[in-house]
Amino acid sequence: MGSITLQKVSKVFGEAKVIPSIDLDIQDGEFVVFVGPSGCGKSTLLRLIAGLEDVSGGKIVIDGRDATEKAPSERGLAMVFQSYALYPHMSVRNNIAFPLKMANMDKAEIDRKVTDAARVLNLTDYLERKPRQLSGGQRQRVAIGRAIVRQPSAFLFDEPLSNLDAALRVNMRLEISELHQQLKTTMVYVTHDQVEAMTMADKIVVLNRGNIEQVGSPLELYSRPRNLFVAGFIGSPK
């Protein structure tokens, strides 16, 4: 569970070929970071994987099955949004439970899953609070909790830390890395921040104008950048 393969995936918006053609293999359990400048197509690629956008061409295979035509809810993936996507009027407990209630899971089962997720995320003492009574980091953890309870085969993050201050970002980076070590679930993480990419990724995918410039480990990209774009972006001494 948790492998994602893109085969000649493309996306056109009107006249704009935002993703010309991408091939990519994501292995089960990998922490993969899509990095690149603003507007290069990171969010679009993530949304194609999630099924929030339809591909213009190509194929998306998830866990060995063709998922290209599947609805987002049938792909077994969970998208983690920025923390402001929480419901302000609901308690932390109900925010985390929301996707399970939508799926008509029974109450005892929901309670058990919410309790487990809260333990993993250090939110046990905050379950009855409202989002506004939490710190920014705690709110981000609630957003992650909402994804965890669905036990997805992969988590998809789109710049989840971009509205947090610098110190908190460093903390949350560590927390998400620890969560990955604990859950061992595939994570696909979008950022325009090279430091986030270099410190969190098993595998970095460098994007430029909808094309992959290079795929490799942080060390490979740093020590053997394929071209000046990668070198410049990663900050290699080339």
Q: Which residues contribute to the site for Mg ion (CB under 5 A)?
A: 43
Q: Is 197 an interacting residue with respect to ligand ADP (CB under 6 A)?
A: no
Residues 134-193 that bind ligand ADP (CB under 6 A): none
Q: Which is nearer to Mg ion, 34 or 222 (CB)?
A: 34
CA dist 39 → 35, 42, 154, 171, 212 (Å): 11, 8, 24, 27, 14
CA dist 132 → 34, 117, 126, 147, 150 (Å): 31, 20, 12, 20, 24
- Nearest-angstrom CA–CA distance, 178 and 78: 18
* Residue 67 neighbours by CB distance under 10 Å: 21
The distance of closest approach from Cβ of residue 45 to ligand ADP in the complex, given in angstroms and rounded to an integer, is 7
The distance of closest approach from Cβ of residue 192 to ligand ADP in the complex, given in angstroms and rounded to an integer, is 7
Q: Record the tokens describing residue 4, joined without a space.
A: 């994602």
Residues 39-98 that bind ligand ADP (CB under 6 A): 39-44
Stretch 23-42: interaction string toward ligand ADP, x if CB under 6 A: -------------x-xxxxx
- Nearest-angstrom CA–CA distance, 86 and 96: 9
Measured between its terminal Cα atoms, the distance across the chain in Å is 38
Q: Which of 13, 89, 112, 124 binds ligand ADP (CB under 6 A)?
A: 13
Contact partner, 39, from Mg ion, ligand ADP, none, Cβ < 5-8 Å per class: ligand ADP
- Among the residue ranges 12-20, 125-133, 145-153, 180-188, the one whose residues contact ligand ADP (CB under 6 A): 12-20
Q: Is 225 an interacting residue with respect to ligand ADP (CB under 6 A)?
A: no
The distance of closest approach from Cβ of residue 189 to Mg ion in the complex, given in angstroms and rounded to an integer, is 12
Q: Which is nearer to ligand ADP, 114 or 197 (CB)?
A: 197
Q: Which is nearer to Mg ion, 52 or 103 (CB)?
A: 52
Q: Which is nearer to ligand ADP, 16 or 108 (CB)?
A: 16
Cβ pair 207, 194 in contact under 8 A: no
Q: Which is nearer to Mg ion, 82 or 236 (CB)?
A: 82
At residue 101, the 3 state secondary structure works out as: helix
- Nearest-angstrom CA–CA distance, 23 and 6: 5
Q: Which is nearer to Mg ion, 43 or 177 (CB)?
A: 43
Q: Record the tokens describing residue 25, joined without a space.
A: 């293999």
- Nearest-angstrom CA–CA distance, 138 and 144: 10
Q: How many residues bind ligand ADP (CB under 6 A)?
A: 11
Residues that bind ligand ADP in the complex, under the rule CB under 6 A: 13, 16, 18, 36, 38-44
